[in-house]
Amino acid sequence: MLSVNDSANASNDIQRRYREFLDLLPLTLSLAGLPESDHGKYYTEEQVEARAYTVKHAFKQARILTRECIQKQ
């Protein structure tokens, strides 16, 4: 069973990861290089999955890049 302390730590960890994601989102999207959809046109399910895969891997690279830049300073 989780104690109150463990629950608070888990909540803080989730909030920290969410903030990190939002902070890295502009860099992530830039690295992904995905075009925006045309107005009124929608992607197929397969296209959405492919784009999500690209964003997921771009986020990983954004985290790596950020950590490398911070450590070298």
Residue 5, CA distances (Å) to 8, 11, 12, 19, 36 in order: 5, 10, 10, 21, 43
Residue 61 has pLDDT above 90, yes or no: yes
Residue 10: pLDDT band with limits 50, 70, 90: confident
| CA 3 to mean position of chain CA atoms | 29
Long-range contacts of 69-72 (CB under 8 A, 24+ apart): none
Across the range 28-57, mean pLDDT stands at: 95
Residue 5 has pLDDT above 90, yes or no: no
**Three-state DSSP state, 39:** coil
Query: Are 2 and 10 within 8 A, CB to CB?
Result: yes
- pTM for the structure as a whole: 0.79
* Helical segments of the chain, H only: 4-32, 45-71
pLDDT digits (tens, 9 = 90+) for 14-37: 999 999 999 999 999 999 999 998
